[in-house]
Amino acid sequence: MGSTSFRSRSDAPNVTKVVPISKAECVTSAGSAVSHVSFSSKREVRESSGKTRWERLYSEVYEDGKGEHPSLPGMVGEPAPASRVSVVPVANTYAKMSIVVPPGTEHGTEMATAASRLLQCLDIRKKYAGYSAEQHMEPSVTQHVSHNRSRQDLMTMMADIDGDSFIKNSCGHTLTWDPLMSKLPPADPSLTIHFEDGIFVARSNLKLVGGDRAVISVDEFCRDYVQVLQTMRDRSCISFCVPRLRELDLSFEFHMNRNAVLENEQASASGGRDWFSVRKVDTHIHHSAAFSQKHLMSFIRRKMRDEMDTLVLKDGDRVLTLREVFSCAGLTEETVTADRLCCMASMGACGQHDTFGRFDRFNNKYNPFGDKRLRDIFLKTDNFIEGRYMAELTKELMTKHEADTYVFAEWRISIYGRDRGEWARLARWFRKHEIKSRNIRWLIQVPRLYSLFRKMGVVRSFGHLLSNVFEPLFEDVQNPSSDMFYMLQQLVGFDSVDDESQDSHLTLKVYPPPDEWTSEANPPYSYWMFHMYANIRSLNAARRHRGMHTFTYRPHCGEAGNVSHLVSGFMLADSICHGVKLIQTPVLQYLFYLAQVGLAVSPLSNDILFVPLAESPFGNFFRAGLNVSLSTDDPLIIHMTEEPLVEEYVVAARTFRLSLGDLCEIARNSVRQSNFESSFKEFWIGNCNDAARSNVSNTRLQFRADCLAREFEVLREAKAEL
């Protein structure tokens, strides 16, 4: 494809790749007796087989070696098979805690069975999310151009993104970014599209594109879902996972007690970055609320001064001017204040203004000055003025992002499934207003609003809604259009959003196929999740067949509601938004850790809706080694400053007592979780890890990798007793 990895300059500082340090001692299992705890500083050695102990262990757990296993904490981009993991000894050893058990100690049948069930759950995830990771393709939007340049010093090597669309690396290469870099593919008349049991499939000359693996049946999903759900509830699995998670937390505490000084010295010696100058990606933010209150108020005041006579809204047979709309709302330029804007969520307010636990009140905060007409005028892309105001706001915010070299974002924008024309209108908005930025990538969020649309009569069935969402995408694979191509080159994934606290059933067995779901009731969470995933998987197979890039699935999951939602998230999602309910299910929390599933957590958003900041599990997740990043969710509604992502980091640092090194690790996680092109990722954090770029010491990542290796070793040894 169009992205090419940066090459390291021969005289550049040696960048070491993080690999687990092998242990001579046995690692304790859940519930086993501990003989003693010691610290060691051993270096990795290769066995007679030619593999390191880590490579052998990982190959045994994931025998097929096809790259479907969970990614390592030290790896960039998509997971790689164990055979391709580069192993380079770290430059420094570190004080390490080793737990030694008495000889002959056994885990017991119960723990062995639990370990086997946990490994089976990881295999189930491999079937779904692992397949997606293995087959992932990036858009052709980056290109390297070589320049004859003189030798550059370290600071030049670490040069920031320069100009509007390119970055330079140590060899003088320029990485250009342009959503129209690739040519529009021609039509493929041999490709046909079919809608079967709620899932679109593509066939080429009557053969299923992607083979049998392109489509997962609902019956197969139900069987796997029930197995993971039963594992989540199994008492022996809970007894296994609780002490493992506790030991991970304690290991981090021991590690920081003994190695904090070493980590700080390594970070200082790297000489490249500090926390302010490492790249951070806002991995979960909604486009319509990406603006600060100050920015939105300033924009509205400008329009009051300059465009009061502009026709902006159709009201029945009349077309209203901006002046008439503001007059009806009782607004003047002087009354446009934060209090009147009424977008800030109320925390701890009395009565009708309190948003805690009230998702409906939270959603009303999207209406400036409490007026839905103003939301339609200023914060919609599909309106009487064809989204011109929203485009202007968007491009102003993009300019701010580009001025800040170190903050990037992945914005969510909605496709509702009300009609088939939504995609064409959104694509036209992108192309007409030239919406693009090297700092921004986009995800499509599909709100789970079937019940509302069915009551309104705009859809006949749930299958009709799915058809409105996915059929235009399959048709574009068959016969691409220029507007859709321009937009889709910037689109990296899909999201599924809405209030999780609504009632939701656990299984799909008693439910009809989507075309027969004509009830006004909303389908349960797992039903939504599966049919979104299945259509994305099939769409990716069709796009891969045409040489087009593929999409990830990164839904909202585990924010509220039943913890069973996280079963669907674990099985199907590449990463999830929120995930705070994991604290209530140690088995799934441990599985998310083992698979290194990304969590884009928004503590300030959770604080005003479902989880008070003091009770946020973010600190627990981070210490245990889960793949967590910080995100803003809805800056317009939640944040007080012009730098909402920095605000999240600062509040998290104070609340969870995080060091600057911890913040840099979280920032590095955000790059790993994001779907920016791999060339960008490698430049931002290096190949595996470059402390001069990420400001994360190799010792920290070595520790994380060692912990993960230890847990897999515990599972393998316990399972071997069966």
Catalytic residues: 578
Integer Cα distance of 251 and 704 in angstroms: 10
Integer Cα distance of 546 and 191 in angstroms: 10
Integer Cα distance of 664 and 377 in angstroms: 39
User: Where does 160-217 have alpha helices with state H?
Assistant: none
Amino acid identity of residue 318, one-letter, is R
Integer Cα distance of 637 and 84 in angstroms: 45
Q: DSSP label at 14?
A: P
Q: DSSP label at 633?
A: B
Integer Cα distance of 413 and 427 in angstroms: 12
CA dihedral of residues 122, 128, 129, 131 (deg, nearest 10): 110
160: Cβ–Cβ under 8 A, 6 or more apart, which residues?
167, 405, 406
Residue with tokens 């009230």: 358
Q: What sign results for the dihedral spanned by CA atoms 579, 491, 421, 364?
A: positive
> Whose CA is closest to 719, among 246, 22, 60?
60
Rounded to the nearest 10 degrees, the angle between the axes of helix 660-673 and helix 644-655 is 130
Integer Cα distance of 700 and 622 in angstroms: 13
Which residues, listed in sequence order, are joined to residue 313 by a DSSP beta bridge?
Answer: 320
Edge-to-edge strand ranges of the sheet holding 628-630: 556-557, 575-578, 598-601, 628-630
Q: N- to C-terminal Cα distance for the chain? A: 46
Q: What would the two tokens of residue 251 be?
A: 């290991």
Integer Cα distance of 592 and 576 in angstroms: 10
Question: 3-state DSSP call for residue 67?
Answer: coil
Residue with tokens 């030991």: 247
389: Cβ–Cβ under 8 A, 6 or more apart, which residues?
299, 303, 377, 378
CB 685 within 8 A of CB 671: yes
Integer Cα distance of 345 and 605 in angstroms: 9
Integer Cα distance of 54 and 716 in angstroms: 12
